[in-house]
Amino acid sequence: MQAGKVLAYASRQLRKHEENYPTHDLEMAAVVFALRIWRSYLYEESVQIFTDHQSLKYLFTQNDLNLRQIRWMEFIADYDLKIQYYPGKANVVADALSRRRMEVSIGKELEALNNEFQNIRLSDLEGESSEPLGFQAVNQAGLIHRIREAQFRDELREEILRIAHQSTLSIPPGSTKMYKHVRQYYHWPGIKRVVAKWVAECQTCQQIKAEQSLPIP
């Protein structure tokens, strides 16, 4: 971005090993990615990095870094960088690509499921059994199995929550807001409790929450 205008966009999918990164490491990986692909434009120039993740700034002042973070810091040291916090609600440009990709993916899943429901021929199902059409009929069509799989696979739930957390970083962290976001697309028994537990165990959410609760000097 230059003079308030976007000059270029870039985005990519996470690699397998990156899926376990904490959020602040994902943010730093994005910074390194951008510096590498636009090195010819940014090297020896004064660069401002706008982020909606406040803890990213603190990585530059930490002494206890892991090897991955040390490599990143050595790479970044070649650039004249300034990290600035920018509230996510205002940072719509940075979130446009990731949010669009998530919406498209979810939309395709819902469309496929909806088509599957529409393809059930109720008259045929009723003709196969004298029992009233209901749970058993839908189960025969394979839909309940798919819904059960989504409900009870812990790794699938974890992936859903991780993606939802990344897309809700633009709002203050909190289980209620994240729950409302997730339930637009997914449901399983006890979903509100699971989301509350996930947020309570998220170090990034708790750190930002603590920072926001500090009294103004």
- What size, in residues, is the chain? 217
| Distance in angstroms (rounded) separating the CA atoms of residues 99 and 88 | 12
| Distance in angstroms (rounded) separating the CA atoms of residues 43 and 78 | 8
3: left (phi over 0), alpha (psi -120 to 50) or beta: left
Show me where the domains of the chain are located. 16-85
Contact criterion met (CB below 8 Å) for 145 and 153: no
More confident residue, 31 or 95: 31
Tokens 């088509």 map to which residue?
A: 115
**Closest to 99 in 3D by CA, of 169, 17, 32:** 169
Tokens 């962290």 map to which residue?
A: 173
More confident residue, 121 or 35: 35
Contact criterion met (CB below 8 Å) for 56 and 27: yes
- pLDDT recorded at residue 3: 65
For the beta carbon of residue 83, count every other beta carbon within 10 angstroms.
21
The model's pTM is 0.41
Query: For the chain, what percent of residues have pLDDT higher than 70?
Result: 54
| Distance in angstroms (rounded) separating the CA atoms of residues 138 and 120 | 8
6-10, 31-35, 183-187: which is most confident: 31-35
**Closest to 198 in 3D by CA, of 168, 128, 215:** 168
- pLDDT recorded at residue 150: 47
Q: Is the pLDDT of residue 110 over 80?
A: no
Q: Is the pLDDT of residue 37 over 60?
A: yes
Give φ, ψ of 131 to 5 degrees.
Answer: -70, 150
